[in-house]
């Protein structure tokens, strides 16, 4: 039985921390150019990755501290062996009200029955192009039809709706995808979300001019379709719009042009057990070492509270002096 609730978790700026993202692996079967190099990745050794027991322990402790939303990420989380067993361990944790998954969709279709049975409540599928040759160019894998097949299979599970489709918006690439994705959102039970390209690429080639902003994308869509804004919920990353005729939804996640740091409620744990209080943190707090050294829950709680208290006020993207984190998105957790 879980112990009693603890004092809620706040950072030093008065923001409550209620959302946790846990990366379960740094490995991925794609090589998306905005996330990883084509070759030469040094994967974590198996013993360096948090075990299911360690992940469950952290989640249970943080749920006692007020975390209600849990998202499992990677790398590609479905590449982790026996991943549905981890879901089944986490779904019953007292206090959790949302359990979601971010995936590239390649392994999703065959695992869907197990995932839903284990307690999965939402999915986000990364998909940056609807054209086979352009999907191959970006991911370096010829796998578009397999991802689309997984999305179609997910439609059979109403508990997963709306299925969210994430598209990274990059100038010089995504312009051709905007209207096809708008039609995609209108003809399926999906919410397509355009995410501004962020400086987390392995080649450190990001610059402000490579970002295709959410406002620019919305302008293109509105040349063909009228959009109506949906009120933004507290802590939401996306600004969501419905099509005025009632069919479909589009979202815009604009961390570069419209930062949403002021009410950020999120923390992250990497696959090797490092706590990151911001996606762009330059410092991490090791949680794996104290757990493996025998730390009790009270000691682990102190480590978590001390780290979260120092959570960054904002990420400083595109400001003078901004420094890109050493880890890429795949190593941090998407």
CATH code (residue 176): 3.20.20.70
Between CA 87 and CA 52 the distance in angstroms is 9
The 3-class SS string of the chain reads CCCCCCCCCECCCCCECCEEEEECCCCCCCCCCCCCCCCCCCCCCHHHCCCHHHHHHHHHHHHHCCCCEEEEECCCHHHCCCHHHHHHHHCCCCCCCEEEEEECCCCHHHHHHHHHHHCCCEEEEECCCCCHHHHHHHHCCCCHHHHHHHHHHHCCCHHHCCEEEEEEEECCCHHHHHHHHHHHHHHCCEEEEEEECCCCCCCCCCCHHHECCHHHHHHHHCCCCCEEECCCCCCCCCEEEEECCCCCEEEEECCCCCCCHHHCCEEEECCCCEEECCCCCCCCEECHHHHHCCCCHHHHHHHHHHHHHCCCCCCCCCCCCCCCCCCCHHHHCC
DSSP collapsed to 3 states, 172-201:
CCHHHHHHHHHHHHHHCCEEEEEEECCCCC
Per-residue pLDDT, 112: 98
Measured between alpha carbons, how far is 271 from 288 in angstroms, rounded to an integer? 10
Q: What is the block-wise mean pLDDT of the chain (334 residues), using blocks of 10 residues?
A: 86 97 93 74 91 98 98 95 97 97 97 97 97 94 97 96 94 96 95 89 72 96 96 89 90 90 94 93 94 98 98 81 72 74
φ, ψ dihedrals at 83, nearest 5°:
-55, -40
Residues of the domain holding 257: 19-332
The answer to the question of residue 86 being in a domain is: yes
Would 6 be classed as within a structural domain? no
- pTM for this model (two decimals): 0.94
Tell me if 13 is assigned to some domain: no
Q: Is residue 305 part of a domain?
A: yes
322 domain-assigned: yes
- What is the per-residue pLDDT across 84-101, written as a single tens digit (0 to 9) for each? 999 999 999 999 999 999
- Asked if the bond preceding 104 is cis, omega within 30° of 0, the reply is no
CA separation for the pair 88, 86 (Å, rounded):
5
Query: Is 5 within a domain?
Result: no
Count of the separate structural domains present in the chain: 1
Q: What is the pLDDT of residues 256-310, one digit of tens each?
A: 888 888 899 999 999 999 999 988 888 999 999 999 999 999 999 999 999 999 9
Distance, in Å, from the CA atom of 188 to the CA atom of 163, rounded to the nearest integer, reads 9
pLDDT confidence of residue 42: 80
109-128 pLDDT tens trace: 999 999 999 999 999 999 99
Does residue 53 lie within any of the structural domains? yes
Distance CA 111, CA 109 (A): 6
pLDDT score of 200 = 67
Give a yes or no: residue 221 inside a domain: yes
């Amino acid at each position: 039985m879980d112990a009693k609730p603890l004092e809620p978790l706040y950072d030093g700026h008065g923001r409550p921390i209620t959302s946790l993202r846990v990366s379960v692996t740094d490995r991925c079967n794609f090589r998306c150019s905005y996330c990883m190099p084509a070759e030469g990745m040094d994967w974590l050794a198996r013993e360096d990755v948090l075990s299911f027991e360690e992940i469950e322990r952290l989640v249970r402790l943080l749920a006692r501290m007020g975390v209600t939303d849990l998202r499992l990420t990677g790398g590609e989380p479905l590449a982790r062996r026996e991943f549905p067993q981890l879901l089944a361990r986490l779904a019953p944790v007292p206090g959790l009200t949302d359990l979601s998954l971010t995936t590239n969709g390649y392994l999703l279709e065959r695992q869907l029955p197990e995932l839903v049975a284990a307690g999965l409540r939402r999915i986000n599928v990364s998909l940056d192009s609807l054209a086979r040759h352009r999907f191959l160019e970006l991911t370096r894998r010829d796998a578009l039809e397999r991802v689309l097949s997984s999305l179609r299979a997910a439609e059979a599970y109403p508990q997963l709706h709306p299925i969210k489709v994430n598209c990274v918006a990059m100038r010089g690439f995504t312009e051709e995808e905007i209207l096809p994705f708008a039609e995609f959102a209108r003809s399926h039970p999906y919410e397509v979300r355009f995410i501004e390209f962020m400086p987390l690429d392995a080649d450190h080639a990001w610059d402000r001019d490579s970002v295709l902003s959410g406002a620019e994308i919305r302008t293109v869509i509105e040349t063909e379709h009228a959009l109506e804004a949906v009120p933004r919920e507290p802590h939401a990353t996306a600004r969501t719009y419905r099509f005025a005729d009632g069919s479909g939804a589009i979202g815009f996640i604009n961390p570069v042009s419209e930062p949403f740091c002021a009410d950020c409620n999120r923390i992250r744990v990497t696959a090797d057990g490092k706590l990151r209080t911001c996606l762009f943190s330059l410092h991490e707090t090791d949680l794996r070492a104290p757990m493996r050294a025998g730390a009790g829950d009270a000691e682990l709680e102190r480590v978590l509270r001390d780290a979260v208290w120092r959570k960054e006020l904002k990420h400083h993207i595109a400001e003078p002096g901004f420094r890109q984190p050493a880890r890429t998105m795949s190593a941090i957790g998407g």
